[in-house]
Amino acid sequence: MHNEPTERRRSRRYVLHLPIHYRVAEKGALPCTGSGTTCEMSNAGLSFRCRRTLPVGAHVELTVVWPTRQADLYSVELLMTGFILRSNERGRVGVRVTSHRFRVDTEPAVAMGAIA
């Protein structure tokens, strides 16, 4: 007899607390935007916390501020799109990710002034 819960998810989840910005587009409504913090991520899904309940089923565009820089100069963002699977009154949102890609900023994140 096996009493351990079975894991339904196919992708490994990673606990990451990173800044996130979102834009929700729902048919017949104006887009809403906001920010929050990621909780868990995988290549198939993402959960994050924000200050509001978001509409389940709506399309969402996400920008995650990545914690590293390319060549120590250029900021990196993870861009994701998907659909909101769940959202609760405590601000926890679950998203099924349909696409993702990294974007590297073309301007250096630090000033290229004189170095002492």
Q: Whole-structure pTM over 0.75, yes or no?
A: yes
Return all residues near 1 (Cβ < 8 A) that are at least 6 apart. none
CATH topology of domain 14-105: Thrombin, subunit H (2.40.10)
Pick the closest to residue 19 from 34, 5, 38, 32 (CA basis). 38
pLDDT tens, N- to C-terminus, the chain (116 residues): 445 455 555 678 899 999 999 999 988 888 999 999 999 999 899 999 999 999 999 999 999 998 877 666 788 999 999 999 999 999 999 999 999 999 998 776 654 443 43
What residue segments make up the domains of the chain, in order of their start?
14-105
